[in-house]
Amino acid sequence: MTLGQRVFVCLQYLVPQILLTRIAGAFARRRIPLLTPFVIRRFIRAYGVDMAEAVEPDPATYPTFNAFFTRPLRAHARPLAPAPALLCPCDGTVSEAGSLDGGRLLQAKGIHYSAVDLLGDGELADRYAGGTFATIYLAPSDYHRVHMPAAGALERMGYLPGRLFSVNPATVAGRPGLFARNERLVANFRGAGSSFAMVLVGAMIVGGIRTPWSGRVTPRSAEPWRILTDTQLFYERGREMGTFELGSTVIILFPPARVTLAADLLPGRKVRMGEAIGDVREADEPLH
């Protein structure tokens, strides 16, 4: 890490993370004549956002920054790779991907963290010990809706409060256990005889995380909570399952011998929602 990156990481311990994030979220949800259109246009220019992909390409039609930031894309803007491909759940950049070392995930070179700490559930962590994971970072310019990498029924969802460190590459490389310390949503799905988990990690200035079945999940409370379902909520592969109001990180986990990741799914690779990032194999027998 450079000196500047080290300073950036250290400063995050000093700034009021939650207050700044709540202020940013309040602004993003509010319609402010003249100011909101100005900020949207400056953002598009600064980050090179391709508005031709959006259902509504005219920036002036978005009433709030959140409406612009979470904009839906035109049909077929993200074609889905045919089954049995494992779909990339979002646009972004691969942070890390590979096999869990027992119950540990690789955060960055030389830095591991615990699946138990990430998921907040020992039983779930046991399911994924020795399995497969992929971590994808969403930059501000990326499409910020998250989709299903495979088909599955929602089994449980948990909210885990935490810090709101940035999740940019500098902080990932310099803050051990980052993803297990930040506020996050953990959704576990049961698929064809197996299961998989999707973790949506909050971060500084991320105004909220939403799901279609529960609405806004973060910011919610200072206490963790969990819901169990009767598996009535079934989501096809490629269907939208969540939205970030400003950027963050998605982590997907699969049990052992269920997924073979693409050989070129390496740190730094740019990916787009719907492309193949591996293959999924159905379980030979139900997972108990």
- Residues annotated as part of the active site: 91, 147, 248
What is the rounded CA–CA span in Å between residue 167 and residue 201? 9
Tokens of 2: 């450079």
What is the rounded CA–CA span in Å between residue 87 and residue 106? 21
Tokens 């994924």, residue located: 128
- Enumerate the H helices of 12-86 as residue ranges: 17-29, 35-47, 65-69
Contact 237, 87 (CB under 8 A): yes
Q: Where are the beta strands (DSSP E) in the chain?
A: 85-87, 92-99, 104-108, 111-114, 132-137, 145-147, 152-160, 184-190, 195-201, 208-211, 215-218, 225-228, 234-235, 240-245, 249-254, 259-261, 270-271, 276-280
Cα dihedral 114, 111, 157, 287 sign: negative
Backbone φ and ψ of 162, nearest 5°: 180, -165
Helix, coil or strand: residue 80 = coil
Give the rounded distance of the alpha carbon of 150 from its chain centre. 15
Contact 106, 96 (CB under 8 A): yes
Tokens 């709030």, residue located: 64
